[in-house]
Structure formats: C-alpha cells, structure tokens
Amino acid sequence: MSKLSRDTKYSIVKWFRLSVVALILCLIVRFFVFVPVTVDGYSMMPTLKMKEVVLVNRLSEVHRFDTIVFNVDKHQYVKRVIGMPGDHIVYKNDKLYVNGVLHKESYLQAYRDKLNKNDTFMSDYDITVDPNTYYVLGDNRDNSNDSRYFGTIPTDSAVGVAKYVYLPLNEMRVVK
C-alpha cells in the first residue's frame, strides 16, 4: 500500500478541521438561534397550514402582529401577537383598535371576503394587556384557542418569532 504524501495528509487534516468547525456552527445555529416547529392545527389558516414546518428565530424581538411560537400548559402554540404589554385592545364592529388606533388586519381579508353582508367576524370586546404578557389570536378566528380562551400569555413563554416556512419545499415563503 502506498503512503500518502505530506501535502495530501495536510489537505485531509485541513478538510477534517473545517468540517468539524462547520458542524459545530450548524449545531449552535440549530439549537440556539433557529428552531424548526411543525404547525399542528388550523388556527393560523390561511397564513400557516397544518403540517407546514416553520423556522422560529429564538433571538428575534417580538413585535405587534408577529407570528410567534409559545408554550402554555405543556402545549406549544403558534399565534399572532395582537397586544403588547400595557396595550389597550378594542374589537368593535369587526375592527381592531390598539391604543385607540385602527389597524387593518390584511392577513384576515380572505376570511372577511367570505362573510355574508350582515355577519361579523369577531365579537366586540375591550381588554387591557397586563404587564409582561402578550395578547395572541389565531388568524382563523372561528377555529382558534387563543387569548380569548386561555388569557394573555407571559412574555417569557415565547419560544421565538416564526420567520420562514421551509417545508413542504413547494410552499417555502417568509411568514407575514
């Protein structure tokens, strides 16, 4: 059996070291920055569909209208943040007001278009979000267990912000 040349050995060691560093970086990103989460349920339709896999950024700051993943009572949920800590939320005549400012929820338009002329999408309500909590709702409001049922969620229960749908491959997109 022939011996490897000194340059070949050096090249093999160099590639091995590079591969180990790349693997370590991938593991750090996978476990500490981006987490894959499979959507389980229909509460975020049409934004997210059942069985889609989203990449959740654990380091992103949560903003109003972000889609977040959070844990409540040993269950993982995917919902949209409607109210930030201290916000005053009013739903009146199917319109959302946050701190007195009207917000158009464009992500709900597909559902609103299907309503009959006199139907309403949401019941009227008025709530002030407690400190250190978020008020979250599913985009499929008729089929969503959310803050209307389990109350506001602690800000520290948020796993992160859903950023990208990456599976199935033909549905890859940025989460809006």
Q: Is 79 a catalytic residue?
A: yes
Which candidate in 49, 79, 114, 117 is catalytic?
79
The answer to whether 136 and 153 have CB atoms below 8 angstroms apart is: yes
Which candidate in 2, 9, 43, 114 is catalytic?
43
Three-state secondary-structure class, residue 62: coil
Q: Is 43 a catalytic residue?
A: yes
DSSP string, 80-115: EEEE-TT-EEEEETTEEEETTEEE--GGGHHHHTTS
Distance of CA 102 to the CA centre of its chain: 23
Residues with catalytic function: 43, 79
